[in-house]
Structure 1
Amino acid sequence: MMNAVEVTGMKKVFGSHTAINNVTLTVKKGEIFGLLGPSGSGKTTTNKILTGELKPTSGEVKVLGMNSTKFGTSEFKSKIGILSDNSSLYERLTVYDNLKLFCKLYGAPLEQIDVLLKEVNLQEARSKTVSKLSKGMKQRVLLAKALIHKPELVFLDEPTSALDPGNMAHIHRGLQRLNEAGTTIFLTTHNMEEATELCDRVAFLHNGELQEIDTPSALRYKYSTHAFHVETFAGEQLVIKNEPKNADHINELIINNQIKTMHTDHPTLGQIFLKVTGKELV
């Protein structure tokens, strides 16, 4: 199976600043891949290179089998969808008319508009002027715009950053359905809960360099101490190493009905990122 994205030794330099340094990664067709990192880590620069907005200083980049010389072609643009910090809408038009315009641009059927408005939970706002929408509502219209032509690969840069928890969950379900139908999703985010829920694999980007690439579960297992965290009914918080010599201690707690909660150590992606890079994901 051809990879959706293939990057080898990618570097991007702005003057004296190296934004991306020797990044190598692949994104398999049909997966949700998360590029995770704080602001300034190089996520947006990576996104812009992969979508053809920027050219790499060096290295090789292929997207859907096409190299960067084809990124500006209509063939390339017809196969990808983009939600980025540069995405925009026509403020004086209604939600419906904005999406109608993009349907005509991409040759998509108008019936697709109502399908997507349902996916982003905006059916009731179809006749509203965009200028009157909240930031979160505009973000959902932009997501619908990125998906209007049923692209093979979607690049989403912080797609739920302005959304409340309810609409975030609604969007997550829609993205999962989209992925199940065969669309590859390249997600850049600093929301670790979002990445854990959605992504098949994630990559940690810090100061323009990749630190880790694996499934969320594999990373959480790799960086776990595997210790037992126990809260007793007496209010004690115990950390017991997962070693044979501690079996009697745990058995005693169980026999005496002292355990209120118990779980093995299972760090979040945010905790792992902090451990790997020494920097919070903000």
Structure 2
Amino acid sequence: MISVENLFYSYTKDEQYAVKDVSFEVKEGEVFGFLGPSGAGKSTTQGVLTGLLPLQKGKVTVAGYDLHHPDRKMFNRIGVSFEQSNVYGKLTALENLDFYRKLFDVETMEPEELLKLVGLSEVKNKKAGTFSKGMKHRLTFARSMINQPSLWFLDEPTTGLDPAIAGTIKDIVKEKNQEGTTVFLTTHNMFIADELCDRVAFIVDGEIKAMDSPRNLKLLHGNKMVQVEYRENGDTVKKLLDLSKEPERLLLNDIILRKDIEMMHTKEATLEEIFIKITGRELSV
């Protein structure tokens, strides 16, 4: 669905690259996460893939279209939800979607159905300029689905949303993916990426540092830890054991055989911890 080979991009049109020699593929039906801190090159890469930025150097195909020779028909197949909402403030929510659907040459979803999906039905006739930041974000998200895209670009889709609405957005993404939609997700939120993505790429300073499934990255770079709590001499004892070390495996076995265990569970590394370990960078940077 997406093929990127040796992509470079410079805003100053010199060798100060925001994206440097980036290569990856996204398979049809996959949820692919492009993960990194602010300024890492995520949005620049997405800008090239969606035709908002010109392809300067490299080879890129999106939904079967070569971006060296862009074709407007590509936009019938893709949907884009931007991190920064750009809805028309003087139009109502319903008018925003009615206007946008007319830009496509394919069958579109009903605007009222989309507004209901993201919880905006009750404000469908209110001007978008009166909306909160979160409501505008939901309207932008709804708009990105209107042409029923086969390839869906999502840039920080849950930013600024309360947990309940964020959960709804994640459920919609999962449902659309199960229906066959390919998803390209750019985010610095490792929890969302871990929950949604089949594969992820870590990007820092315009370069991809690692790429694999979240599970494989954890297995490869994380420690296998077990936390156990047990009773000893009337007190509760807590131990965190590293199962990659034989003495600690033997100790755990002894605790299981001889102690009164109250609680025991694995403590796998989070995707964020793996990101920091591989890249040496904090996501908030």
Q: TM-score, normalised by structure 2?
A: 0.91
Corresponding residue of 1:12: 9
Alignment partner for residue 281 of structure 2, among 257, 279, 282? 279
Query: Is the contact between residue 119 and residue 171 of structure 1 (CA under 8 Å) also seen in structure 2?
Result: no
Corresponding residue of 2:148: 150
CA distance in 2, matches of 1:133, 1:5: 35
CA distance in 2, matches of 1:165, 1:143: 16
What letter corresponds to residue 29 of structure 1 in structure 2? E
CA distance in 2, matches of 1:218, 1:110: 38
SS in 1 for 2:3: strand
CA distance in 2, matches of 1:133, 1:108: 29
Give unpaired runs (5+ residues) of structure 2.
none
Query: What CA RMSD, in Å, does the superposition of the two structures yield over aligned residues?
Result: 1.9
CA distance in 2, matches of 1:48, 1:90: 21
Q: How does 1:1-282 map to 2 (within 5 A)?
A: 4-15=1-12, 16-71=15-70, 73-85=71-83, 87-106=85-104, 112-232=110-230, 234-282=236-284
What letter corresponds to residue 48 of structure 1 in structure 2? G
Deviations 1:20-57 (A, max 9, x none): 11111000011111000000100010000101111233
CA distance in 2, matches of 1:37, 1:278: 12
How far the C-alpha of 1:82 sits from its partner, in A, is 1.1
Tell me: CA distance 1:141–1:158, structure 2 relative to 1, closer, same or farther (3 Å).
same
Q: TM-score, normalised by structure 1?
A: 0.91
Query: Is the contact between residue 224 and residue 265 of structure 1 (CA under 8 Å) also seen in structure 2?
Result: no
Deviates more, 1:254-263 or 1:78-87: 254-263
SS in 1 for 2:148: coil
How far the C-alpha of 1:243 sits from its partner, in A, is 4.5
Query: Is the contact between residue 229 and residue 240 of structure 1 (CA under 8 Å) also seen in structure 2?
Result: no
How far the C-alpha of 1:131 sits from its partner, in A, is 1.2
CA distance in 2, matches of 1:74, 1:42: 25
Identity %: 38
CA distance in 1, matches of 2:96, 2:240: 57
Tell me: CA distance 1:277–1:41, structure 2 relative to 1, closer, same or farther (3 Å).
same
CA distance in 2, matches of 1:248, 1:200: 35
What letter corresponds to residue 82 of structure 1 in structure 2? V
SS in 1 for 2:102: helix
Tell me: CA distance 1:56–1:110, structure 2 relative to 1, closer, same or farther (3 Å).
closer
